[in-house]
């Protein structure tokens, strides 16, 4: 039997420790490389942070598996047992250009069920966290359950990429939604944008391609608050693949899917 309180305590200790190291790196020279395309960045700090978690987890919980963005963990084909899904720095472009608006994201899953979600906004020292059936918190503050709002009163997280011609969606599909909502915002860190839906700073978040480490921590927090997460086609997430993403307050999620995304057929 997994002692989830023990796992949670260590995960929080390590995420804070990793955050301290990342903050110290601000005064160092950081090595930046690009991955899948010139704007998909990785630094030596992303890699060192992922390796830090892997070392700690392997030492303390040798039976746990790890799926990390930078690939130093295990190669997983399924999610059986206890699996840590880690993004050492979500929002690397922000980390490089702004030294803010990035987060460490960790989701811990048991046989594919999200048990612990952690998103740490290092610069603001804000830890968003949840344990299954135990509520969600921002630092020590419990977060209230999410309730519906009207589209006309909603602020949605959306990158401008998806409202100009792009490879993943006919950009005109999102035009009516952008026109009808109160406002749109783009923060450049999926984990933080999901955390902002959890706290009500955003009412929904839409994006076209996220990997498991971008949302694994966030959806545990959202689930705990009664928020809803599906692909833009209204389907459940594939926790081991890339997904389009609609994460929202309940009610608003249904309305966006039905009235703006044609029930997921686009
Ligand atoms: P990352 O910084 O960990 O790569 C940027 O809008 C958001 O999308 C970030 O959370 C970023 O995560 C994520 N993202 C996912 N896949 C990406 C890709 N191929 N290129 C850039 N950002 C990506
Ligand atoms: Ca990352």
* Residue 160 near ligand 1, beta carbon < 6 Å: no
Q: Which atom of ligand 1 is nearest to the CA of 192?
A: 10
CA nearest ligand 1 atom 2, residue: 91
- How far CA 240 is from CA of 67, 136, 230, in Å, comes to 9, 24, 14
Nearest-CA residue for ligand 1 atom 19 is 40
- Answer yes or no: is the C-beta of 38 below 6 A from any ligand 1 atom: no
Task: Tell me the β-bridge partners of 76.
Answer: none
Q: Is the pTM of the predicted complex or chain greater than 0.95? A: yes
- What domains can you pick out in the chain, each with its CATH number? 4-142 (3.30.540.10), 151-259 (3.40.190.80)
Contact, 232 vs 105, CB < 8 A? no
Cα–ligand 1 centroid distance for 190 (angstroms): 7
User: Region 10-29: what's the mean pLDDT?
Assistant: 97
pLDDT value at residue 96: 97
Please report which residue ranges of the chain form alpha helices under DSSP H: 4-25, 44-60, 92-98, 175-180, 190-199, 212-224, 252-255
At 24 the pLDDT is 96
What mean pLDDT value characterizes the chain? 97
Q: List, in sequence order, every residue forming a beta bridge with 137; answer none if it has no partner.
A: 129, 142
The first and second tokens of residue 261, run together, are 């995304």
Neighbours of 37 (CB within 10 A): 7
Task: Give pLDDT tens digits for 114-133.
Answer: 999 999 999 999 999 999 99
- Taking phi over 0 as left and psi of -120 to 50 as alpha, with beta for the rest, 12 belongs to alpha
CA of 210 to the centre of ligand 2 (A): 11
CA of residue 242 relative to chain centroid, distance: 13
- pLDDT tens track for 49-71: 999 999 999 999 999 999 999 99
Which atom number of ligand 1 is nearest to the Cα of residue 93?
2
Residue 87 Cβ inside 6 Å of ligand 1? The answer reads yes
Contact between 246 and 229 under an 8 Å Cβ cutoff? The reply is yes
Backbone φ/ψ region at 40: left (φ over 0), alpha (ψ -120 to 50), beta: beta
- Which two structure tokens, joined as six digits, stand for 85? 């899904």
Tokens 């811990």 belong to which residue?
108
C-alpha span between 25 and 50 (Å, rounded):
15
């Amino acid at each position: 039997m997994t002692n989830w309180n023990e796992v949670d305590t260590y995960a929080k200790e390590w995420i804070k420790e990793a955050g301290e190291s990342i903050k110290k790196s601000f005064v160092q020279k950081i090595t930046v490389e690009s991955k899948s395309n010139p704007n998909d960045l990785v630094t030596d700090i992303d890699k060192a942070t992922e390796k830090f978690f892997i070392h700690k987890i392997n030492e303390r919980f040798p039976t746990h598996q790890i799926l990390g963005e930078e690939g130093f963990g295990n190669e997983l084909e399924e999610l059986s047992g206890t699996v840590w899904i880690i993004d050492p720095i979500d929002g690397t472009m922000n980390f490089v250009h702004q030294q803010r608006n990035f987060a460490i994201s960790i989701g811990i899953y048991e046989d594919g069920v999200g048990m612990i979600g952690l998103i740490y906004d290092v610069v603001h020292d804000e830890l968003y966290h949840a344990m299954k059936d135990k509520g969600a918190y921002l630092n020590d503050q419990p977060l209230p359950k999410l309730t519906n709002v009207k589209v006309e009163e909603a602020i949605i997280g959306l990158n401008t990429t998806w409202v100009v011609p792009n490879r993943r969606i006919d950009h005109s599909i999102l035009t009516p939604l952008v026109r009808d909502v109160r406002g749109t915002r783009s923060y450049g860190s999926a984990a933080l944008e999901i955390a902002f839906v959890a706290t009500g700073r955003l009412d929904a978040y839409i994006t076209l391609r996220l990997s498991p480490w971008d949302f694994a921590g966030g959806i545990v927090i959202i689930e705990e608050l009664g928020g809803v997460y599906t692909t833009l086609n209204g389907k459940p997430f594939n926790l081991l693949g890339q997904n389009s993403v609609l994460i929202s307050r309940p009610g608003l999620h249904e309305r966006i899917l039905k009235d703006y995304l044609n029930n997921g057929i686009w």
